[in-house]
């Protein structure tokens, strides 16, 4: 009898190779799923940025040159059938002017006049500036997410009361 060496793989070798192949495929599948989800989220965030810019620009153009009394304190809506998973809201608030007088450090004689001017200027800012917050809401799952941008509207026609 001749002792022929076996040609081929043993059952154990084949099973180990299949186990390694299954583990590698699982890692690849998880990695590609994660990549696809990241690309989809990036696309949604790009859409949100465009919608925020569109709504902020639209709001500025709508109320440009109008008196602050004409501004609606809040508005909301959706983007129609083009973007059914998104909605928007606009909130207009008074501008909280900083207390500039508290920052002034001058000689006593000049300080009273400077404080008066700075207080008047702060009051003027409160009348002439509005803070506008534009938000886009997106509900990718169970929880709705808010993305917003805030800008200032200035009424250049408001007289300075001295």
The vertex-153 CA angle with 47 and 147, nearest 5°, equals 25
Q: Report if residue 108 sits inside a domain.
A: no
What whole-number distance in Å separates Cα of residue 102 and Cα of residue 89? Answer: 35
Q: Report if residue 142 sits inside a domain.
A: yes
**DSSP state, 81?**
G
CB count within 10 Å of CB 29 equals 10
Q: Report if residue 120 sits inside a domain.
A: no
Query: Model pTM?
Result: 0.68
Residue-level pLDDT, tens digit, the chain, 162 residues: 455 566 788 888 888 988 898 888 888 777 776 778 788 888 889 999 999 999 999 998 988 888 888 888 999 999 999 999 999 999 999 988 877 766 666 556 567 777 777 788 888 888 888 999 999 999 888 899 999 999 998 888 777 665
Q: Report if residue 119 sits inside a domain.
A: no
Confidence (pLDDT) at 3: 55
Instruction: Name residue, tokens 């008047």.
Output: 120
Q: Report if residue 106 sits inside a domain.
A: no
Could you tell me the residue range of the domain that residue 61 belongs to?
11-96+128-154
Please report the beta strands in the chain, taking only residues with DSSP state E, as ranges in sequence order.
74-78, 86-94, 129-138, 145-154
Q: Report if residue 62 sits inside a domain.
A: yes
Q: Report if residue 57 sits inside a domain.
A: yes
Beta-bridge partners for 77: 88
| Structural domain count, the chain | 1
Report residue 20 as tokens: 């390694």
What whole-number distance in Å separates Cα of residue 44 and Cα of residue 38? Answer: 10
Which whole-number Å values give the CA distances from 19 to 30, 59, 73, 120, in the listed order? 17, 60, 63, 78
For 66, phi and psi rounded to 5 degrees?
-100, 160
We report the CATH number of the domain holding residue 145 as 3.30.1300
Confidence (pLDDT) at 137: 96
């Amino acid at each position: 009898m001749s002792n022929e060496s076996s040609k081929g793989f043993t059952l154990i070798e084949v099973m180990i190779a299949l186990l390694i192949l299954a583990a590698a495929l699982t890692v690849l599948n998880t990695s590609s799923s994660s990549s696809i989800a990241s690309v989809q989220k990036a696309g949604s965030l790009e859409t949100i940025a465009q919608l925020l810019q569109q709504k902020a620009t639209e709001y500025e153009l709508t109320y440009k040159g109008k008196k602050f009394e004409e501004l609606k304190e809040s508005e909301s809506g959706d983007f129609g059938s083009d973007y059914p998973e998104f909605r928007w809201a606009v909130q207009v608030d008074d501008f909280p002017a900083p207390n500039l007088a508290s920052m002034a450090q001058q000689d006593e004689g000049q300080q009273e006049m400077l404080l008066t001017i700075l207080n008047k200027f702060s009051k003027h800012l409160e009348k002439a500036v509005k803070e506008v917050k534009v938000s886009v809401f997106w509900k990718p799952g169970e929880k709705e997410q808010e993305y917003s941008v805030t800008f200032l509207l200035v009424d250049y026609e408001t007289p300075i009361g001295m």
